Amino acid sequence: TIDIKPKKKKKRGEKRKHSDDTGEDVVLKPQFMDESQAATKQKSSNLTSIPSFMDICCLIPDEANAITFLTVHGVFPNLKEVVCAHCGYKGFRPKGKKTPKYIKCNRCSKGQSLMKGTLFEKSRVPLHQALYMALFWLSMSSASTVIAQLGCSSATVTEFFGKFRAHAKKCLDASPNEGLGNRDPEQIEQDMKVHIPRYARKDAKAHSDHFSAAMWRDLHVNNLWKAFIESLKTVKYDHDDSEIK
């Protein structure tokens, strides 16, 4: 057989990609290759703003390391700088190895929670698992994925996902100009294509929390994990915690 089709000369700066289905040559022009590479680079940068689950497991393997991690980042106070509310003495120490989340005064031995005033106050879930759930929430993983990975109950995952959404709303309320500004919330919701679950559409508070969480993610899409850790120390909570004896 003789191939009567003349072979096309490849122009300078073009690459040929052979298709297995038709056998035809597809010419990829440089400008389209640049756009594709830019889109891939932007997508990868958004993914790298959240560390992988294995990286967090190696960095924070247990609750003691989680306390150290949050103390280094300023979420938890330095024990030497904590002032006792009972005697006014400055300086605390860990209550015990089995209860690393609780501290007591060096003078009067009155105890209090290390998590007082933070998002994790009154939580019985270990801190490292709470941070794992935050990582999955930032990556918009489903509740079933979190349950399969961490072995938590669905009620625990639902509770913490609700806490994280409310926390995102509180962050936006603390700096409203950064979020809404002079824009219409309904128009922003349509532009961002925010997914509101069916159960939250009739509940004003749940609808507001989902919308605020989506906007907060959009504002910090290039640095989600760091922005979340920074927000933990800037937003304070008052749960009216009872005294721990």
Extract the tokens encoding 69: 């991690």
Helix (H, G, I), strand (E, B) or coil at 69: helix
Per-residue confidence (pLDDT) for residue 194, from 0 to 100: 63
* pTM to 2 decimal places: 0.71
Sign of the torsion formed by the C-alpha atoms of 170, 172, 177 and 183: negative
Helix (H, G, I), strand (E, B) or coil at 59: helix
Per-residue confidence (pLDDT) for residue 148, from 0 to 100: 93
The CA–CA distances, whole Å, from 84 to 10, 21, 81, 116, 139 equal 78, 75, 10, 13, 39
Q: Which three-class secondary structure string do you get for 74-85?
A: CCCCCHHHCECC
Supply angle C-alpha 177, 180, 181, rounded to 5.
Answer: 45
List per-block mean pLDDT (blocks of 10 residues) for the chain, which spans 245 residues. Answer: 53 51 45 45 55 92 92 89 86 82 88 87 90 94 91 93 91 67 56 67 80 84 91 78 38
